[in-house]
Structure formats: C-alpha cells, structure tokens
Amino acid sequence: MKKILRVMVISLWFGFLTFPFMGNHAGLLIVLLLAGGGLWLVITTLRNTKTVKQWLERASFYQQGFQRNLNRRDRRIVLGILLVLALLFPLFNNRYVVDVAVMCGIYICLALGLNIVVGLAGLLDLGYVAFYAVGAYLYGLLSINYHTSFWLALPLGALMAATFGVLLGAPTLRLRGDYLAIVTLGFGEMIRIILNNWDRVTRGPNGLIGIEAPSLGKKFVFSQPIHYYYLILLIAIITIFVVNRLNHSRIGRAWIAIREDEVAAEAMGINTTRMKLLAFALGAMWAGLGGVFFASKMTFISPESFTFFESVIILCMVVLGGMGSIPGVILGAIVLVVLPEMLRDFYLPFMQVDFSRARMLIFGMLMVLVMIFRPQGLIPSARRKLELHPKKDEDILEQKPEFVYEVASKSQEL
Amino acid sequence: MSFLEYIIQQLINGLTIGAVYALIALGYTMVYGIIELINFAHGEIYMIGAYIGIITLGVLSAQGLTQSSLALAMGIVLVVSMVYCAAYGFTMERIAYRPLRQAPRLSPLITALGMSIFLQNYVMLTQGARDKFFPPLFTGGINIDEVRISYIQVFIMGISVLLMIALQLFIKNTRLGKAMRATAQDKKMASLVGINIDRVISITFIIGSSLAAVAGIMVGMYYGLVNFYIGYVAGLKAFTAAVLGGIGNIAGAMLGGFLLGLLEAFAAGFIPPPHGAQYKDVFAFTILVLVLIFRPSGLLGEQVAEKI
C-alpha cells in the first residue's frame, strides 16, 4: 500500500515538474509513469516470491559456471569464430549495412581510446573529440594542400593527436579529477571555435572539401564501403590487440591503481603524473587515427562533426559497455551506433519528435541510469568482478574460509 | 564619448553581467563545498529558470497583469521560477546524486553530465530549438553625460546584491545555515551531532537552484532572448567564476563573478571587434585554465591539503 502511494506521488511530482514545458502532454506522462510504476511494483513483488527467487539464483549460478569454464583455449575459438564472421560480414550485406558497420568500427577505435583515459586511468576527459578533430584536420589539410598519402598521414595523425594530448595533459593533470573534466571540456570547445574561426587555414564552417580517399598503388582507390570496412576492421583489430596488451601490462596495472587510489598508487612507487600523461597521449592517439580514417572516408569534414556531443556519445559508449572492459566497450560502441540507425523512423509517443532528434535525450538518461543501476556496464571487466567492494568486505568476514581463499587465488591469476 | 566615460560604461556592463555570473557561481560553490561535486547540470537549471520565466510571463501578460501592475507580475514570475527550479534541483539531487554518495568519484560526475545533456535536450524537444524572446518590460534608463545605465541593469544589480546579502545572513545566522557550514566541514562529524545530512544537501541544492532561476530570468530580460543551450556557456563561465574566487567559498564566488564579468566586458571592449566577440568564450576559459594552474585554490580559498 505504501509503495503504491509512493508511485502515485512520484508520478504526480513529475507531472508537476514537466507541466510548464509539456502542457497537456504532462498528463500523458503521469499516466505513463503510473503504468510504469505499477509494472515495477508487480515485478518486484514477483521477484520476492520464493519460486522466482530460486529460479533467478539458479540462472546466475549457470551463468557463472559458464564464464568460469570458458578457459583460454575456448576463448581463442570464440574469438576465431567472431573474426571469421567479421570477415564474411560485408559479403552478405548491402552497402548501407556495411556503411553502418564502418561507423561502428570508427567508434570502436574511439571508444577504446577513451576507455584508456576514463576506464583505466579514471580521468574524465570531456574534450576527447578534439583529438579526433586534430587527426581529421591534419589529414584533410595535408591531403588538400600537399596530396600527402593516407598511409603516411595515419601515423602522423596518431602522433599529432598524442602530442596534443601531452600538451593539454601536462599542465592540467596535476588537477583533481573534476577540474580535469571541465578543462578538457573547455579545450574541446576551444578547438572547435578555432576551427570555425580560423578561416584562412581551416576554411571555417564551410569545412574542407575534396580530401583524397586512400589508395593502394596507382590503380586501386578506395571507393566502396566494403573497402573501408576491411581497412577499419584491420585498424580495429590492431586497436583491440594493443589496448588489450596495455591493459594487462605493468602500465595498465599502474593506471588502474591510480584510478582506485592515487595517493596509494604514488606510495607504491608509481610515477602518477607520467602515467596519467601516458594515458592521455595513448588515448588521444586512437582518436587521431580514427580522425584520419574518418576524413578519408567522408572526403569532407567541417567543425560540425566535432561538437561536444560527439565526446558525450563516445563517453556514453564507454559507460554503457563497462568502464575498463574491452569487450564491454566494443559492445557499447556497436549498440550506440546501430540502435539509433534502427530507430531512425521511430516516433516518440509524446513531444511529436522522431528518434534521431531525441537521441541525445536518451543518451543522457542512459548515462544516469547505467551509473545508478549497473555501474559496471553491460560486460563488466574481469578485474572488476574480483574487486572487493566495501559492502562485500563485511560479508567476507562472515564467509567460509574457502571463499576467501578462492577470491585470493583468483586475484593472483590476473 | 570620452575615454573615461567609455571605461565607466564598460564597468557598469561588466558589473551587471558579473552579478549574474556570481548568482550562478553561488550554486556551484555551495554544492561543491558540501559534497565536493561539480554539478554540471547547474547551468541547465539556470536555463530552465529562464524558460519558466518566459512561460509564466506569457500567461501573466495574457491575463493583462503585466500592464496593470508590473511589480506584482515580476514578483510572481520570480517566485514561480524559483519554486520550479528548486523543485528541479531537488529532484535532480534525489535521482542522480543521492544514490551515488558512496560510489567512486567518477560516477556522480558522469551522472551530472548525463543529467545536463538530458535537461538540455528535454527543453529543446518540448520548447523547440529556436530562440525564445523575452518581452521588453523595463525600457529606458538613466543617462549621466554619455554613460547610460538602463533600468534593467539597476534591477539586476539590485536584486543580485539583495539576494547575496540574504544568503550571507542565512548562512551566518540561522540554524540551517550553521548546519550547512558544519556539513561542509565534516559530514561524518556533522551527522554525529544530529544533523540530517541528506536534508542539508537537499536544501543546498534548493537554494542554489533558486538563485540560478533568478539569474536566468535576469539574463533573459537583459539580452531579450533565451535558447536551450544558454546553460552550457553560462555554466562554464559561472564555474570559472567560482574557481576564480576559490571553489567552496561563498564570498569567493561573488567576488569571482563580478571579476569575471568585468574582465570579460573590458576584453570585449578593447580587443578589436572581429576577435573580441568570436573569442569571448575562449577568453573566460583561458582564465579558468590559468587560475587552475597557478592558483588552484582561487583568490579567497585556502590551500587545503587533500583529505586522505
């Protein structure tokens, strides 16, 4: 009874909040909220019944067993199957689908790069798209003015973005995390404003037109989405490989130590400033790489492609997928690229807007909801599963010794 | 217009906009002082305040109240907007920040960002992406030689200074103010002596949001138009002001706001036109970076060692 009252009060409260903005639609919202609240009540009551509880427990038991049994050899087989599927993918799909897949590839690289900064080192970078812009404009300008080859621009773009990362990071990384977020946000905006206003070089809002597509030798020029698909697949695989190795290296462990407790990490002899700078540079590098590829694919770039929202979308991928988790971030990137494409023609019930305009609204909400209800993301990182969280610390004291031993031996495996 | 008059004019313009920055900066600084969180969505609350102001004003002028009694109408607009923003701030804290009180530092920052994006797009979708116009209510002004002070500027400065004094008195003299100061100093200790921390935090959000509402309405009237992304720039600038004065320090936020307003007015006034306007926002941001690098504790903030 109390719960029902609560749902009603909350619904009415939101109706009150939204009334001046939505007018009569606020009534509709109240009805929807009431319905949703009712559904939630039914689900939670059902969940507390004995049979369902047992059922859920059994399901989670099987899931854990499955994950534990997936040893190294099995994992290789799964990866091999995924690779073959990825290689065959464009042969069975039309241009549009392949094009979307190429976008997925770009965002996978970007999100994995940001994952180094946010997920591993725990630094909130809200101007990540600036490095993407640096890569894209570098290739754009080099290609238009000097006809530089794409293959040369690719490492150059990565290097340039990493340099910018160091330049931005050096003065700001001493700051506390929240300041860093604001400074990087401002930096991202600054790059965009400069691109917009420095007409002589960047041609301002008109952007750069006629960027050359990559070519192999003299004869083969990239033109179809499928060409770009295989190129980005290669880049993505390299990215995944490198990021994975980094994650399990001494550097990766240092980053995670910094994320968890900077003071303790420093006390253990980690040079925190240098490690954070490295995270910034290595994260920026992938954005630069992605930028060069993006410019070559689009053959046209303008400051519009590098707004703050782009940074937010990439961050959302990392958060949704699971900070620090490589498979999670890949999944997050794919979901957030594919879903908006699928829902392109879907209309929201009230507000009379189509989905593509409400995209950012949903992304914003998603970030809040994920952080509250599932902070570990869609696929939690393996390390995270083994972490001892404060709440569980107390449980551990009450656990049988075998359990404590199991946790301890598992954490040594990593 | 002589050089001296030009300077005085810029001074007045700077103080006006500075008063607004100060009001928004207070919200940032109060929240930061208590829960050490940069409330990214605070700029959005300010924007919502401006919108509610326009909407209420529209209703009131349809009833004919703005023509018959302007003071009463303005009073109603301010109160309604403050109540709504307080409600939004309160709800935001409940949804996005309270559940994450014990979470790692990164989590509430991300929800704050998500909240900000959400509110921005919510207003855009429901109210449209185009500029909304504030009906000009106060026209005219005082002319002293060539220097002009419009009534709106007088109104803005008057109300802001009044609110700031009220806030200072509230924090210095009332029980709640005392509880807020105690919570800011040490949350655990405060809760041990019987202060309801959750309530104090809610009240902080409510006060900060109502101040932002006033700022929103005043800026709307000053520039004559609002749109859904004003919160973003204003938020960044108010945050700069808060950092400039020393984040967590209430007097600092006021000082920082006025100072930033002045700096901006003079920069825009003295740097040749095409660059002065285009790079105005970059300018505020440069100040932020410089302050953070050379004096992260701000002008009035004390150097505090990080708690371990």
- CA of A339 to nearest chain B CA: how many angstroms apart? 18
Q: Which residues of A touch B88 (CB under 8 A)?
A: 17
ipTM: 0.84
Chain A nearest C-alpha distance from B186 (Å): 19
The reply to whether B19 falls in a domain is: no
A–B CB contacts, 8 A cutoff, strictly below: 144
What is the arithmetic mean of pLDDT over B6-20? 87
Write a three-state SS string for chain B: CCHHHHHHHHHHHHHHHHHHHHHHHHHHHHHHHHHCCCCCCHHHHHHHHHHHHHHHHHHHHHHCHHHHCHHHHHHHHHHHHHHHHHHHHHHHHHHHHHHHCCCCCHHHHHHHHHHHHHHHHHHHHHHCCCCEECCCCCCCEEEECCEEEEHHHHHHHHHHHHHHHHHHHHHHHCHHHHHHHHHHHCHHHHHHCCCCHHHHHHHHHHHHHHHHHHHHHHHHHHHCEECCCHHHHHHHHHHHHHHHHCCCCHHHHHHHHHHHHHHHHHHHHHCCHHHHHHCHHHHHHHHHHHHHHHCCCCCCCCCCCCCC
Kindly determine whether residue B243 and residue A179, on different chains, have CB atoms separated by under 8 Å: yes
**Is B278 inside a domain boundary?**
no
Q: For residue A173, give the 3-state DSSP assignment.
A: coil
B286, pLDDT greater than 50: yes
Contact A183 B288 (CB under 8 A): yes
Question: Is B212 within the bounds of a domain?
Answer: yes
Instruction: Give residue B205's pLDDT.
Output: 93
**Least CB–CB distance from B285: residue in A176, A186, A366:** A186
A371–B121: do the CB atoms touch at under 8 Å? Answer: no
User: Are B106 and A365 inside 8 Å of each other by CB?
Assistant: no
In a domain, B274, yes or no: no
pLDDT computed for residue B307 by the predictor: 46
The Cβ of residue A162 has, within 10 Å, a number of other Cβ atoms equal to: 23
Our count of domains for chain B comes to 1
Domain ranges of chain A: 93-380
| Contact check, Cβ <8 Å, B236/A185 | yes
Is domain A93-380 in CATH 1.10.3470, yes or no? yes
Which domain does B101 fall in, by range?
26-240
Q: Write out chain A's pLDDT in tens, 414 residues.
A: 777 888 888 888 888 888 777 777 777 777 888 888 888 888 877 777 777 777 877 777 766 666 655 666 777 788 888 888 888 887 887 888 888 888 899 999 999 999 999 888 888 888 899 999 999 999 988 888 888 888 888 899 999 999 999 988 887 777 776 778 888 888 888 888 888 888 777 787 777 887 777 777 777 777 777 888 888 899 899 999 999 898 888 998 899 888 888 888 888 888 888 898 999 899 999 999 999 999 888 888 888 888 888 888 899 899 888 888 888 899 999 998 888 888 776 666 555 566 677 788 888 888 888 888 888 878 777 666 666 555 544 444 454 555 555 555 555 544
pLDDT of residue B308: 43
- Residue A388: per-residue pLDDT: 55
Residues of chain B positioned with their CB less than 8 A from the CB of A357: 125
In a domain, B1, yes or no: no
> A124 and B109 in contact by Cβ < 8 A?
yes
Nearest CA distance, A124 vs chain B (angstrom): 7
Closest by Cβ to A367, choosing from B103, B110, B243 = B110
Closest CA of chain B from A158, distance in Å:
25
Q: Do B127 and A21 touch (CB under 8 A)?
A: yes
Q: Which residue of A has its CA nearest to B97?
A: A372
For residue B125, the chain A residue with the least C-alpha distance is A351
